[in-house]
A and B are shown apart, each in its own frame.
Chain A
Protein backbone atom coordinates (compact mmCIF):
# COMPACT_ATOMS: atom_id res chain seq x y z
CA UNK A 1 0.00 0.00 0.00
CA UNK A 2 1.59 3.28 -0.99
CA UNK A 3 1.46 6.38 1.16
CA UNK A 4 -0.96 7.99 -1.24
CA UNK A 5 -3.58 5.40 -0.29
CA UNK A 6 -6.55 7.46 0.85
CA UNK A 7 -8.32 6.80 4.11
CA UNK A 8 -11.21 4.43 3.46
CA UNK A 9 -14.56 6.20 3.81
CA UNK A 10 -15.64 6.24 7.44
CA UNK A 11 -18.77 4.19 6.84
CA UNK A 12 -16.63 1.23 5.87
CA UNK A 13 -16.11 -1.18 8.68
CA UNK A 14 -12.61 -1.98 9.86
CA UNK A 15 -10.75 1.17 8.88
CA UNK A 16 -7.48 -0.48 9.89
CA UNK A 17 -7.99 -3.23 7.36
CA UNK A 18 -7.02 -2.92 3.70
CA UNK A 19 -9.97 -1.57 1.75
CA UNK A 20 -9.14 -3.85 -1.09
CA UNK A 21 -9.53 -7.50 -0.44
CA UNK A 22 -10.01 -9.87 2.40
CA UNK A 23 -7.60 -12.42 1.08
CA UNK A 24 -5.76 -13.62 4.15
CA UNK A 25 -8.41 -12.46 6.58
CA UNK A 26 -10.00 -15.11 8.69
CA UNK A 27 -13.73 -15.45 9.09
CA UNK A 28 -13.19 -14.45 12.71
CA UNK A 29 -11.67 -11.12 11.65
CA UNK A 30 -14.47 -10.51 9.19
CA UNK A 31 -17.01 -11.17 11.92
CA UNK A 32 -15.27 -8.67 14.15
CA UNK A 33 -15.52 -6.14 11.35
CA UNK A 34 -19.19 -6.42 10.64
CA UNK A 35 -19.97 -6.21 14.31
CA UNK A 36 -18.81 -2.63 13.89
CA UNK A 37 -21.18 -2.06 11.00
CA UNK A 38 -22.79 1.20 11.87
CA UNK A 39 -25.98 2.54 10.43
CA UNK A 40 -27.84 5.75 10.94
CA UNK A 41 -30.73 5.44 13.36
CA UNK A 42 -31.88 3.14 16.09
CA UNK A 43 -31.47 -0.65 16.24
CA UNK A 44 -34.95 -2.12 16.29
CA UNK A 45 -33.71 -5.64 16.82
CA UNK A 46 -30.32 -6.48 18.31
CA UNK A 47 -29.15 -10.07 17.91
CA UNK A 48 -26.11 -11.31 19.77
CA UNK A 49 -24.28 -14.62 19.56
CA UNK A 50 -27.29 -16.49 18.34
CA UNK A 51 -26.79 -20.25 18.05
CA UNK A 52 -29.48 -22.57 16.78
CA UNK A 53 -29.12 -26.30 16.36
CA UNK A 54 -31.49 -29.04 15.40
CA UNK A 55 -29.94 -32.00 17.19
CA UNK A 56 -26.37 -32.26 15.88
CA UNK A 57 -27.12 -29.94 13.03
CA UNK A 58 -25.91 -26.37 13.57
CA UNK A 59 -28.34 -24.11 11.75
CA UNK A 60 -26.86 -20.87 13.08
CA UNK A 61 -23.50 -20.24 14.70
CA UNK A 62 -22.67 -17.15 16.72
CA UNK A 63 -24.72 -14.74 14.66
CA UNK A 64 -24.71 -11.12 15.82
CA UNK A 65 -26.33 -8.27 13.98
CA UNK A 66 -28.32 -5.12 14.66
CA UNK A 67 -31.33 -4.46 12.48
CA UNK A 68 -32.09 -0.77 12.00
CA UNK A 69 -35.65 0.49 12.28
CA UNK A 70 -37.68 1.77 9.35
CA UNK A 71 -35.53 0.17 6.69
CA UNK A 72 -35.33 -2.99 4.63
CA UNK A 73 -32.79 -5.61 5.67
CA UNK A 74 -32.25 -8.46 3.21
CA UNK A 75 -30.95 -11.86 4.25
CA UNK A 76 -29.32 -13.77 1.41
CA UNK A 77 -27.34 -16.97 1.07
CA UNK A 78 -27.50 -20.45 -0.43
CA UNK A 79 -30.10 -23.01 0.62
CA UNK A 80 -29.49 -24.38 4.07
CA UNK A 81 -27.39 -21.41 5.19
CA UNK A 82 -29.68 -20.60 8.09
CA UNK A 83 -31.27 -17.38 6.84
CA UNK A 84 -34.84 -18.61 7.30
CA UNK A 85 -33.95 -20.04 10.70
CA UNK A 86 -32.58 -16.65 11.63
CA UNK A 87 -35.74 -14.91 10.44
CA UNK A 88 -37.93 -17.25 12.47
CA UNK A 89 -35.88 -16.57 15.59
CA UNK A 90 -36.89 -12.91 15.44
CA UNK A 91 -40.45 -13.65 16.55
CA UNK A 92 -39.75 -17.01 18.19
CA UNK A 93 -41.41 -19.07 15.49
CA UNK A 94 -38.68 -21.68 16.07
CA UNK A 95 -40.14 -22.32 19.52
CA UNK A 96 -42.66 -24.43 17.71
CA UNK A 97 -39.95 -26.86 16.62
CA UNK A 98 -39.20 -29.14 19.58
CA UNK A 99 -35.77 -30.21 18.38
CA UNK A 100 -34.54 -26.64 18.00
CA UNK A 101 -32.06 -25.52 20.64
CA UNK A 102 -31.67 -21.80 20.75
CA UNK A 103 -28.91 -19.95 22.56
CA UNK A 104 -27.99 -16.30 22.55
CA UNK A 105 -29.84 -13.05 22.78
CA UNK A 106 -32.45 -11.28 20.66
CA UNK A 107 -33.52 -7.90 21.94
CA UNK A 108 -36.51 -6.12 20.52
CA UNK A 109 -36.52 -2.42 21.39
CA UNK A 110 -33.98 -3.34 24.05
CA UNK A 111 -36.17 -6.09 25.58
CA UNK A 112 -34.93 -9.68 25.53
CA UNK A 113 -37.49 -11.80 23.70
CA UNK A 114 -35.97 -15.11 24.81
CA UNK A 115 -37.19 -15.03 28.40
CA UNK A 116 -40.08 -16.77 30.07
CA UNK A 117 -42.40 -13.88 30.75
CA UNK A 118 -42.59 -12.80 27.10
CA UNK A 119 -46.14 -12.97 25.75
CA UNK A 120 -45.67 -14.78 22.43
CA UNK A 121 -48.99 -13.59 21.03
CA UNK A 122 -48.03 -10.00 21.71
CA UNK A 123 -44.52 -10.56 20.33
CA UNK A 124 -45.89 -12.01 17.08
CA UNK A 125 -48.35 -9.14 16.84
CA UNK A 126 -45.53 -6.64 17.04
CA UNK A 127 -43.26 -8.75 14.84
CA UNK A 128 -45.49 -10.00 12.02
CA UNK A 129 -44.65 -12.50 9.34
CA UNK A 130 -45.44 -13.06 5.67
CA UNK A 131 -44.63 -16.42 4.14
CA UNK A 132 -43.41 -17.66 0.76
CA UNK A 133 -46.73 -19.07 -0.45
CA UNK A 134 -49.67 -16.73 0.02
CA UNK A 135 -51.85 -18.28 2.72
CA UNK A 136 -55.08 -16.29 3.07
CA UNK A 137 -57.85 -17.75 5.17
CA UNK A 138 -60.63 -19.34 3.06
CA UNK A 139 -62.88 -16.47 4.06
CA UNK A 140 -63.90 -13.16 2.57
CA UNK A 141 -61.34 -10.47 1.87
CA UNK A 142 -62.87 -8.37 4.64
CA UNK A 143 -62.73 -11.19 7.19
CA UNK A 144 -59.09 -11.89 6.36
CA UNK A 145 -58.27 -8.37 7.54
CA UNK A 146 -60.52 -8.26 10.59
CA UNK A 147 -59.66 -11.76 11.82
CA UNK A 148 -56.52 -10.75 13.72
CA UNK A 149 -57.83 -7.58 15.37
CA UNK A 150 -61.01 -9.43 16.36
CA UNK A 151 -58.96 -12.24 17.83
CA UNK A 152 -56.88 -9.76 19.79
CA UNK A 153 -60.04 -7.97 20.94
CA UNK A 154 -59.16 -4.73 19.19
CA UNK A 155 -62.45 -4.74 17.36
CA UNK A 156 -65.57 -6.62 18.22
CA UNK A 157 -68.89 -6.46 16.42
CA UNK A 158 -70.41 -9.66 17.85
CA UNK A 159 -73.71 -9.97 19.74
CA UNK A 160 -72.09 -9.48 23.13
CA UNK A 161 -70.39 -6.36 21.90
CA UNK A 162 -73.65 -4.94 20.65
CA UNK A 163 -75.41 -5.73 23.94
CA UNK A 164 -72.68 -3.98 25.87
CA UNK A 165 -72.85 -1.04 23.48
CA UNK A 166 -69.44 -1.75 21.99
CA UNK A 167 -70.13 -1.74 18.28
CA UNK A 168 -66.96 -1.15 16.32
CA UNK A 169 -68.36 -1.85 12.89
CA UNK A 170 -67.20 1.47 11.49
CA UNK A 171 -63.80 0.99 13.09
CA UNK A 172 -63.56 -2.39 11.38
CA UNK A 173 -64.47 -0.89 8.02
CA UNK A 174 -61.87 1.82 8.47
CA UNK A 175 -59.28 -0.79 9.38
CA UNK A 176 -60.08 -2.89 6.31
CA UNK A 177 -59.75 0.11 4.04
CA UNK A 178 -56.59 1.40 5.67
CA UNK A 179 -54.85 -2.00 5.68
CA UNK A 180 -55.76 -2.76 2.06
CA UNK A 181 -54.60 0.68 0.98
CA UNK A 182 -51.31 0.26 2.82
CA UNK A 183 -50.82 -3.04 1.02
CA UNK A 184 -51.63 -1.38 -2.35
CA UNK A 185 -54.58 -3.70 -2.88
CA UNK A 186 -57.60 -1.47 -2.11
CA UNK A 187 -58.15 -0.21 -5.67
CA UNK A 188 -58.28 -3.76 -6.98
CA UNK A 189 -60.75 -5.19 -4.44
CA UNK A 190 -62.81 -2.34 -2.95
CA UNK A 191 -65.92 -3.44 -4.84
CA UNK A 192 -65.75 -7.09 -3.76
CA UNK A 193 -64.71 -7.17 -0.11
CA UNK A 194 -67.14 -10.00 0.58
CA UNK A 195 -65.69 -12.26 -2.11
CA UNK A 196 -63.66 -15.24 -1.02
CA UNK A 197 -59.96 -14.36 -0.79
CA UNK A 198 -59.01 -17.58 -2.56
CA UNK A 199 -60.51 -16.11 -5.75
CA UNK A 200 -57.74 -13.49 -5.89
CA UNK A 201 -54.61 -13.93 -8.03
CA UNK A 202 -51.42 -15.12 -6.35
CA UNK A 203 -49.96 -11.62 -6.22
CA UNK A 204 -53.19 -10.19 -4.81
CA UNK A 205 -53.35 -12.98 -2.22
CA UNK A 206 -49.81 -12.15 -1.10
CA UNK A 207 -50.67 -8.46 -0.77
CA UNK A 208 -53.78 -9.48 1.19
CA UNK A 209 -51.53 -11.45 3.54
CA UNK A 210 -49.39 -8.33 3.95
CA UNK A 211 -52.55 -6.29 4.63
CA UNK A 212 -53.64 -8.91 7.17
CA UNK A 213 -50.26 -8.61 8.85
CA UNK A 214 -50.54 -4.80 8.90
CA UNK A 215 -54.06 -4.90 10.39
CA UNK A 216 -52.75 -5.90 13.82
CA UNK A 217 -50.40 -2.90 13.77
CA UNK A 218 -46.97 -4.54 13.83
CA UNK A 219 -43.66 -2.72 14.15
CA UNK A 220 -41.55 -5.29 12.34
CA UNK A 221 -42.55 -7.32 9.29
CA UNK A 222 -40.63 -10.51 8.55
CA UNK A 223 -40.93 -11.84 5.02
CA UNK A 224 -39.72 -15.26 3.93
CA UNK A 225 -39.33 -15.29 0.13
CA UNK A 226 -42.46 -13.16 -0.28
CA UNK A 227 -42.28 -12.97 -4.07
CA UNK A 228 -40.72 -16.24 -5.13
CA UNK A 229 -44.06 -17.78 -6.11
CA UNK A 230 -45.14 -14.73 -8.13
CA UNK A 231 -44.78 -13.58 -11.73
CA UNK A 232 -42.59 -10.55 -12.55
CA UNK A 233 -45.42 -7.98 -12.47
CA UNK A 234 -46.76 -9.24 -9.14
CA UNK A 235 -43.17 -9.38 -7.86
CA UNK A 236 -42.60 -5.77 -8.86
CA UNK A 237 -45.73 -4.74 -6.95
CA UNK A 238 -44.55 -6.57 -3.83
CA UNK A 239 -41.12 -4.96 -4.16
CA UNK A 240 -42.65 -1.48 -4.48
CA UNK A 241 -44.78 -2.24 -1.47
CA UNK A 242 -41.80 -3.38 0.61
CA UNK A 243 -39.97 -0.13 -0.11
CA UNK A 244 -43.07 1.85 0.84
CA UNK A 245 -43.60 -0.13 4.05
CA UNK A 246 -40.05 0.62 5.16
CA UNK A 247 -41.08 4.25 5.65
CA UNK A 248 -43.08 3.20 8.71
CA UNK A 249 -42.03 -0.35 9.52
CA UNK A 250 -38.87 -2.35 10.00
CA UNK A 251 -38.81 -4.94 7.23
CA UNK A 252 -36.61 -8.04 7.17
CA UNK A 253 -36.72 -10.08 3.95
CA UNK A 254 -35.25 -13.47 3.17
CA UNK A 255 -34.72 -13.86 -0.56
CA UNK A 256 -32.98 -16.24 -2.94
CA UNK A 257 -33.09 -13.57 -5.58
CA UNK A 258 -29.94 -11.49 -5.23
CA UNK A 259 -31.10 -8.85 -7.68
CA UNK A 260 -34.21 -8.47 -5.57
CA UNK A 261 -32.11 -7.95 -2.45
CA UNK A 262 -30.03 -5.41 -4.35
CA UNK A 263 -33.12 -3.57 -5.57
CA UNK A 264 -35.12 -3.30 -2.39
CA UNK A 265 -32.88 -3.46 0.65
CA UNK A 266 -30.91 -0.84 2.55
CA UNK A 267 -28.58 -3.37 4.13
CA UNK A 268 -27.80 -6.94 3.27
CA UNK A 269 -26.66 -9.81 5.44
CA UNK A 270 -24.95 -12.72 3.69
CA UNK A 271 -25.23 -16.10 5.36
CA UNK A 272 -23.06 -18.91 4.04
CA UNK A 273 -22.96 -22.61 4.73
CA UNK A 274 -22.60 -23.62 8.34
CA UNK A 275 -25.08 -21.03 9.54
CA UNK A 276 -22.52 -18.25 9.65
CA UNK A 277 -23.23 -14.62 8.97
CA UNK A 278 -20.20 -13.80 6.85
CA UNK A 279 -20.86 -10.20 5.96
CA UNK A 280 -23.40 -7.54 6.86
CA UNK A 281 -23.21 -4.07 5.39
CA UNK A 282 -24.91 -1.43 3.29
CA UNK A 283 -26.43 -3.14 0.26
CA UNK A 284 -24.41 -1.15 -2.27
CA UNK A 285 -21.21 -2.15 -0.48
CA UNK A 286 -22.15 -5.85 -0.58
CA UNK A 287 -22.89 -5.72 -4.31
CA UNK A 288 -20.10 -3.40 -5.41
CA UNK A 289 -17.20 -4.29 -3.18
CA UNK A 290 -17.75 -6.97 -0.55
CA UNK A 291 -15.04 -7.40 2.07
CA UNK A 292 -15.11 -11.17 2.15
CA UNK A 293 -13.79 -13.27 -0.73
CA UNK A 294 -16.46 -15.91 0.03
CA UNK A 295 -19.19 -13.29 -0.29
CA UNK A 296 -17.58 -12.02 -3.50
CA UNK A 297 -17.63 -15.55 -4.91
CA UNK A 298 -21.22 -16.06 -3.83
CA UNK A 299 -22.70 -12.82 -5.20
CA UNK A 300 -20.83 -13.10 -8.50
CA UNK A 301 -22.00 -16.71 -8.82
CA UNK A 302 -18.47 -18.09 -8.90
CA UNK A 303 -19.59 -21.04 -6.87
CA UNK A 304 -22.90 -22.78 -6.82
Chain B
Protein backbone atom coordinates (compact mmCIF):
# COMPACT_ATOMS: atom_id res chain seq x y z
CA UNK B 1 0.00 0.00 0.00
CA UNK B 2 1.48 3.32 -1.00
CA UNK B 3 0.55 6.69 0.41
CA UNK B 4 -1.17 8.94 -2.09
CA UNK B 5 -1.99 12.65 -2.20
CA UNK B 6 1.20 13.58 -0.37
CA UNK B 7 0.99 17.35 -0.78
CA UNK B 8 -2.63 17.24 0.45
CA UNK B 9 -1.55 15.35 3.56
CA UNK B 10 1.17 17.98 4.09
CA UNK B 11 -1.44 20.75 3.76
CA UNK B 12 -3.54 19.07 6.46
CA UNK B 13 -0.54 18.82 8.79
CA UNK B 14 0.31 22.47 8.13
CA UNK B 15 -3.24 23.54 8.92
CA UNK B 16 -3.13 21.71 12.25
CA UNK B 17 0.21 23.32 13.14
CA UNK B 18 -1.05 26.77 12.11
CA UNK B 19 -4.22 26.47 14.20
CA UNK B 20 -2.10 25.47 17.20
CA UNK B 21 0.25 28.39 16.53
CA UNK B 22 -2.62 30.84 16.49
CA UNK B 23 -3.95 29.15 19.62
CA UNK B 24 -0.64 29.67 21.42
CA UNK B 25 -0.61 33.35 20.46
CA UNK B 26 -4.18 33.81 21.64
CA UNK B 27 -3.31 32.19 24.96
CA UNK B 28 -0.35 34.59 25.28
CA UNK B 29 -2.65 37.55 24.52
CA UNK B 30 -5.09 36.33 27.13
CA UNK B 31 -2.30 36.01 29.70
CA UNK B 32 -1.08 39.52 28.98
CA UNK B 33 -4.61 40.96 29.05
CA UNK B 34 -5.30 39.44 32.45
CA UNK B 35 -1.89 40.57 33.78
CA UNK B 36 -2.55 44.12 32.59
CA UNK B 37 -6.00 44.17 34.14
CA UNK B 38 -4.82 42.85 37.46
CA UNK B 39 -1.74 45.03 37.72
CA UNK B 40 -3.40 48.10 36.24
CA UNK B 41 -0.60 48.14 33.68
CA UNK B 42 -1.90 50.46 30.97
CA UNK B 43 1.20 50.08 28.76
CA UNK B 44 0.80 46.32 28.65
CA UNK B 45 -2.92 46.79 28.00
CA UNK B 46 -2.10 48.94 24.99
CA UNK B 47 0.22 46.27 23.62
CA UNK B 48 -2.56 43.70 23.93
CA UNK B 49 -5.02 45.92 22.08
CA UNK B 50 -2.46 46.66 19.36
CA UNK B 51 -1.70 42.95 18.86
CA UNK B 52 -5.30 42.08 18.10
CA UNK B 53 -5.13 43.17 14.49
CA UNK B 54 -2.34 40.72 13.72
CA UNK B 55 -4.39 37.92 15.33
CA UNK B 56 -7.39 38.85 13.18
CA UNK B 57 -5.32 38.84 10.02
CA UNK B 58 -3.92 35.40 10.73
CA UNK B 59 -7.39 34.12 11.57
CA UNK B 60 -8.68 35.28 8.18
CA UNK B 61 -5.70 33.76 6.37
CA UNK B 62 -6.27 30.40 8.05
CA UNK B 63 -9.99 30.52 7.35
CA UNK B 64 -9.16 30.98 3.71
CA UNK B 65 -6.70 28.05 3.92
CA UNK B 66 -9.63 25.87 5.05
CA UNK B 67 -11.84 27.11 2.22
CA UNK B 68 -9.09 26.32 -0.29
CA UNK B 69 -8.88 22.78 1.06
CA UNK B 70 -12.66 22.34 0.80
CA UNK B 71 -12.73 23.69 -2.74
CA UNK B 72 -9.63 22.06 -4.13
CA UNK B 73 -9.39 18.74 -2.31
CA UNK B 74 -13.03 17.80 -1.64
CA UNK B 75 -12.13 16.29 1.73
CA UNK B 76 -14.23 13.43 3.09
CA UNK B 77 -14.48 11.30 6.24
CA UNK B 78 -11.92 12.14 8.97
CA UNK B 79 -10.24 14.74 6.74
CA UNK B 80 -13.57 16.49 6.27
CA UNK B 81 -14.27 16.45 10.00
CA UNK B 82 -10.77 17.74 10.74
CA UNK B 83 -11.01 20.70 8.37
CA UNK B 84 -14.61 21.51 9.36
CA UNK B 85 -13.68 21.38 13.06
CA UNK B 86 -10.57 23.51 12.51
CA UNK B 87 -12.62 26.04 10.57
CA UNK B 88 -14.97 26.47 13.55
CA UNK B 89 -12.18 26.36 16.14
CA UNK B 90 -10.43 29.25 14.38
CA UNK B 91 -13.49 31.42 15.01
CA UNK B 92 -13.44 30.54 18.70
CA UNK B 93 -9.76 31.43 18.93
CA UNK B 94 -10.34 34.76 17.24
CA UNK B 95 -13.14 35.51 19.69
CA UNK B 96 -10.89 34.73 22.65
CA UNK B 97 -8.43 37.18 21.11
CA UNK B 98 -11.17 39.82 21.21
CA UNK B 99 -11.90 39.01 24.85
CA UNK B 100 -8.18 39.42 25.69
CA UNK B 101 -8.43 42.84 24.04
CA UNK B 102 -11.45 43.61 26.21
CA UNK B 103 -9.35 42.94 29.32
CA UNK B 104 -6.91 45.48 27.93
CA UNK B 105 -9.73 48.02 27.55
CA UNK B 106 -10.94 47.39 31.13
CA UNK B 107 -7.47 48.11 32.54
CA UNK B 108 -7.21 51.21 34.78
CA UNK B 109 -3.99 52.40 36.44
CA UNK B 110 -5.45 53.92 39.59
CA UNK B 111 -8.26 53.96 42.06
CA UNK B 112 -10.22 51.56 44.17
CA UNK B 113 -12.53 49.32 42.27
CA UNK B 114 -15.32 46.82 42.66
CA UNK B 115 -13.10 44.64 40.50
CA UNK B 116 -10.88 44.21 43.55
CA UNK B 117 -13.52 41.93 45.06
CA UNK B 118 -13.19 39.60 42.07
CA UNK B 119 -10.39 37.06 42.11
CA UNK B 120 -9.37 37.76 38.50
CA UNK B 121 -6.12 35.88 38.97
CA UNK B 122 -7.74 32.62 40.06
CA UNK B 123 -10.64 32.58 37.60
CA UNK B 124 -8.39 33.89 34.84
CA UNK B 125 -5.79 31.20 35.45
CA UNK B 126 -8.48 28.55 35.33
CA UNK B 127 -9.86 29.80 31.99
CA UNK B 128 -6.38 30.08 30.45
CA UNK B 129 -5.74 26.56 31.62
CA UNK B 130 -8.99 25.35 30.06
CA UNK B 131 -8.12 26.90 26.72
CA UNK B 132 -4.63 25.39 26.79
CA UNK B 133 -6.12 21.99 27.61
CA UNK B 134 -8.60 22.33 24.72
CA UNK B 135 -5.76 23.08 22.30
CA UNK B 136 -3.83 20.14 23.70
CA UNK B 137 -6.88 17.91 23.14
CA UNK B 138 -7.11 19.20 19.55
CA UNK B 139 -3.45 18.50 18.93
CA UNK B 140 -3.59 14.96 20.28
CA UNK B 141 -7.24 14.21 19.44
CA UNK B 142 -7.73 13.34 23.10
CA UNK B 143 -11.47 12.72 23.48
CA UNK B 144 -11.38 12.01 27.23
CA UNK B 145 -9.73 15.38 27.79
CA UNK B 146 -12.48 17.05 25.70
CA UNK B 147 -15.12 15.72 28.09
CA UNK B 148 -13.16 16.82 31.18
CA UNK B 149 -12.91 20.35 29.78
CA UNK B 150 -16.69 20.56 29.51
CA UNK B 151 -17.01 19.47 33.14
CA UNK B 152 -14.37 21.92 34.38
CA UNK B 153 -16.13 24.76 32.60
CA UNK B 154 -19.16 24.16 34.81
CA UNK B 155 -16.91 25.04 37.75
CA UNK B 156 -15.74 28.23 36.03
CA UNK B 157 -19.38 29.18 35.46
CA UNK B 158 -20.07 28.68 39.16
CA UNK B 159 -17.05 30.83 40.14
CA UNK B 160 -18.25 33.58 37.81
CA UNK B 161 -21.77 33.49 39.21
CA UNK B 162 -20.46 33.85 42.75
CA UNK B 163 -18.15 36.69 41.70
CA UNK B 164 -21.01 38.61 40.06
CA UNK B 165 -23.12 38.25 43.17
CA UNK B 166 -20.28 39.60 45.29
CA UNK B 167 -19.91 42.67 43.10
CA UNK B 168 -23.61 43.42 43.33
CA UNK B 169 -23.74 42.79 47.11
CA UNK B 170 -20.73 45.03 47.55
CA UNK B 171 -22.46 47.73 45.56
CA UNK B 172 -25.61 47.52 47.67
CA UNK B 173 -23.54 47.69 50.87
CA UNK B 174 -21.57 50.71 49.66
CA UNK B 175 -24.50 52.78 48.47
CA UNK B 176 -24.36 56.25 49.94
CA UNK B 177 -21.58 55.15 52.33
CA UNK B 178 -19.61 58.31 51.74
CA UNK B 179 -20.41 61.87 50.76
CA UNK B 180 -18.13 61.51 47.78
CA UNK B 181 -20.56 59.06 46.09
CA UNK B 182 -20.17 59.65 42.34
CA UNK B 183 -22.94 57.72 40.58
CA UNK B 184 -21.33 57.96 37.12
CA UNK B 185 -17.98 56.63 38.31
CA UNK B 186 -19.59 53.83 40.30
CA UNK B 187 -21.70 52.78 37.35
CA UNK B 188 -18.67 52.70 35.08
CA UNK B 189 -16.66 50.74 37.61
CA UNK B 190 -19.39 48.21 38.37
CA UNK B 191 -20.13 47.52 34.76
CA UNK B 192 -16.41 47.06 34.14
CA UNK B 193 -16.29 44.48 36.92
CA UNK B 194 -19.37 42.65 35.66
CA UNK B 195 -18.11 42.70 32.06
CA UNK B 196 -14.79 41.26 33.19
CA UNK B 197 -16.58 38.39 34.88
CA UNK B 198 -18.77 37.82 31.85
CA UNK B 199 -15.75 37.78 29.54
CA UNK B 200 -13.89 35.33 31.75
CA UNK B 201 -16.89 33.06 31.59
CA UNK B 202 -16.93 33.38 27.81
CA UNK B 203 -13.30 32.35 27.51
CA UNK B 204 -14.34 29.12 29.24
CA UNK B 205 -17.24 28.71 26.82
CA UNK B 206 -14.92 29.08 23.84
CA UNK B 207 -12.57 26.48 25.34
CA UNK B 208 -15.55 24.12 25.54
CA UNK B 209 -16.40 24.89 21.90
CA UNK B 210 -12.86 23.94 20.89
CA UNK B 211 -13.23 20.71 22.87
CA UNK B 212 -16.66 20.01 21.34
CA UNK B 213 -15.39 20.42 17.77
CA UNK B 214 -12.37 18.29 18.62
CA UNK B 215 -14.62 15.51 19.92
CA UNK B 216 -16.62 15.65 16.68
CA UNK B 217 -13.42 15.65 14.66
CA UNK B 218 -11.90 12.67 16.43
CA UNK B 219 -14.97 10.55 17.09
CA UNK B 220 -17.76 11.96 14.93
CA UNK B 221 -19.38 12.55 18.33
CA UNK B 222 -21.52 15.68 18.62
CA UNK B 223 -22.31 15.18 22.33
CA UNK B 224 -20.65 18.41 23.47
CA UNK B 225 -22.09 20.53 20.68
CA UNK B 226 -25.48 20.64 22.32
Q: Which residues of chain B have C-beta atoms less than 8 A from A304's C-beta?
A: 2, 4-5
The minimal Cβ–Cβ distance linking A4 to chain B, given in whole angstroms, is 7
Which residues of chain A (252-273) have a CB below 8 Å from chain B? 258-259, 262
Task: Answer yes or no: A102 CB below 8 A from chain B CBs.
Answer: no
Q: Which residues of chain B have C-beta atoms less than 8 A from A262's C-beta?
A: 76
Task: Answer yes or no: B40 CB below 8 A from chain A CBs.
Answer: no
Q: Which residues of chain A have C-beta atoms less than 8 A from B4's C-beta?
A: 301-304
B219 and A19 contacting across the interface, CB-CB below 8 Å: yes
Task: Answer yes or no: A198 CB below 8 A from chain B CBs.
Answer: no
Q: Which residues of chain B have C-beta atoms less than 8 A from A296's C-beta?
A: 77-78
Q: Which residue of A lies closest to B5 (CB)?
A: A301
A300 and B221 contacting across the interface, CB-CB below 8 Å: no
Contact flags (1/0) for A272-304 with B, using CB distance below 8 Å?
Answer: 000000000000000111100001110111111
The minimal Cβ–Cβ distance linking B83 to chain A, given in whole angstroms, is 11
Complex: A262 Cα to B1 Cα, angstroms:
24
Q: Which residue of A lies closest to B79 (CB)?
A: A300
Task: Answer yes or no: B172 CB below 8 A from chain A CBs.
Answer: no
Task: Answer yes or no: A20 CB below 8 A from chain B CBs.
Answer: yes
Q: Which residues of chain A have C-beta atoms less than 8 A from B147's C-beta?
A: 2, 4
Complex: A289 Cα to B221 Cα, angstroms:
10
- Given known pairs A262-B76, A288-B76, the reply for A4 and B223 (CB within 8 Å) is yes
Contact flags (1/0) for B1-30 with A, using CB distance below 8 Å?
Answer: 111110011000000000000000000000
A2 and B144 contacting across the interface, CB-CB below 8 Å: yes
Q: Which residues of chain A have C-beta atoms less than 8 A from B75's C-beta?
A: 300
- Given known pairs A2-B144, A2-B147, the reply for A300 and B77 (CB within 8 Å) is yes
B77 and A19 contacting across the interface, CB-CB below 8 Å: no
A258's partner among B2, B9, B76, B79 (CB-CB below 8 A) is: B76
Q: Which residues of chain B have C-beta atoms less than 8 A from A19's C-beta?
A: 219-221
Which residues of chain B (198-226) have a CB below 8 Å from chain A? 218-221, 223
Task: Answer yes or no: B44 CB below 8 A from chain A CBs.
Answer: no
Task: Answer yes or no: A6 CB below 8 A from chain B CBs.
Answer: yes
> What secondary structure prevails in chain B residues at the interface with A?
helix
A20 and B221 contacting across the interface, CB-CB below 8 Å: yes
A259 and B74 contacting across the interface, CB-CB below 8 Å: yes
The minimal Cβ–Cβ distance linking A290 to chain B, given in whole angstroms, is 6
Interface centre among A19, A290, A300 (most CB of B within 10 A): A300
The minimal Cβ–Cβ distance linking A114 to chain B, given in whole angstroms, is 35
A300 and B78 contacting across the interface, CB-CB below 8 Å: yes
A288's partner among B74, B81, B218, B219 (CB-CB below 8 A) is: B81
Task: Answer yes or no: B80 CB below 8 A from chain A CBs.
Answer: yes
Q: Which residues of chain B have C-beta atoms less than 8 A from A289's C-beta?
A: 77-78, 81, 220
A288 and B220 contacting across the interface, CB-CB below 8 Å: yes
Q: Which residues of chain A have C-beta atoms less than 8 A from B221's C-beta?
A: 5-6, 19-20
Q: Which residue of B lies closest to A18 (CB)?
A: B219
The minimal Cβ–Cβ distance linking B84 to chain A, given in whole angstroms, is 9
The minimal Cβ–Cβ distance linking B107 to chain A, given in whole angstroms, is 40
Q: Which residues of chain B have C-beta atoms less than 8 A from A299's C-beta?
A: 76-77
The minimal Cβ–Cβ distance linking A49 to chain B, given in whole angstroms, is 28
Complex: A19 Cα to B9 Cα, angstroms:
25
Interface centre among B9, B219, B223 (most CB of A within 10 A): B219
Complex: A288 Cα to B218 Cα, angstroms:
12
Which residues of chain B (119-157) have a CB below 8 Å from chain A? 144, 147
Q: Which residues of chain A have C-beta atoms less than 8 A from B220's C-beta?
A: 19-20, 288-289
The minimal Cβ–Cβ distance linking A5 to chain B, given in whole angstroms, is 8
B219 and A300 contacting across the interface, CB-CB below 8 Å: no
Interface centre among A4, A19, A302 (most CB of B within 10 A): A302
A288 and B77 contacting across the interface, CB-CB below 8 Å: yes
The minimal Cβ–Cβ distance linking A67 to chain B, given in whole angstroms, is 23
Complex: A269 Cα to B15 Cα, angstroms:
31
The minimal Cβ–Cβ distance linking B138 to chain A, given in whole angstroms, is 17
B77's partner among A6, A259, A287 (CB-CB below 8 A) is: A287
The minimal Cβ–Cβ distance linking B220 to chain A, given in whole angstroms, is 4
Q: Which residues of chain A have C-beta atoms less than 8 A from B81's C-beta?
A: 288-289
A303 and B76 contacting across the interface, CB-CB below 8 Å: no
Q: Which residues of chain A have C-beta atoms less than 8 A from B5's C-beta?
A: 301-302, 304
Across the A-B interface, the 6 shortest Cβ-Cβ residue pairs: A304-B4, A289-B220, A287-B76, A301-B5, A303-B1, A20-B219
Excluding A302-B3, A302-B4, A304-B4, 19 further A-B contacts by CB distance (< 8 Å) are A4-B223, A5-B223, A6-B221, A19-B219, A20-B218, A20-B219, A262-B76, A287-B76, A287-B77, A288-B76, A288-B77, A288-B81, A288-B220, A289-B77, A290-B77, A296-B77, A300-B77, A301-B5, A302-B9
Q: Could you list some 21 contacts between A and B, CB below 8 A? A: A2-B144, A4-B147, A4-B223, A19-B220, A21-B219, A259-B74, A262-B76, A288-B77, A288-B81, A289-B78, A289-B220, A290-B77, A296-B77, A296-B78, A299-B77, A300-B75, A300-B78, A301-B8, A302-B4, A304-B4, A304-B5
